[in-house]
Amino acid sequence: MLMDSVFDENKAYNFDWSYLGDIRTGRENLGPQMPVSVYRLFEYTLRAVLQKNYKKEGCADILREAGRLAGREFCTHLLDSTLPPDQFIAQLSRVFIDMKIGVIRIESFDEKQLKGYMTLGEDLDCSGLPVTGETVCNYDEGFLSGILSCYFKKAVTAVEIDCWAKGDRICRFDIHRE
In this structure, the strands spanning 171-177 and 103-110 are: unpaired
Do residues 79 and 99 make contact, with C-beta atoms less than 8 angstroms apart?
A: no
Give mean pLDDT, residues 160-176. Answer: 97
pLDDT of residue 6: 56
pLDDT of residue 14: 80
Report CA dihedral (79, 46, 15, 142) to the nearest 10 degrees: 40
Query: Measured between alpha carbons, how far is residue 13 from residues 26, 51, 151 in Å?
Result: 25, 21, 20
pLDDT of res. 4:
54
SS3 19: helix
End-to-end CA distance of the chain: 42
Spans of all domains in the chain: 36-177
In terms of CATH, what superfamily is 36-177?
Answer: Trafficking protein particle complex subunit 3 (3.30.1380.20)
Positions of E strands within the chain: 103-110, 115-121, 156-162, 171-177
Which residue type is seen at 176? H
Instruction: Indicate the angle between helix axes 138-152 and 36-78, nearest 10 degrees.
Output: 10
pLDDT in tens, 78-101: 999 999 999 999 999 999 999 999
Q: What is the pLDDT of residues 25-52, one digit of tens each?
A: 999 999 999 999 999 999 999 999 999 9
Distance CA 116, CA 178 (A): 13
In this structure, the dihedral spanned by the alpha carbons of residues 81, 83, 89 and 92, taken in order and rounded to 10 degrees, is -50
pTM for this model (two decimals) = 0.92
Q: What are phi and psi of 31, to 5 degrees?
A: 75, -175
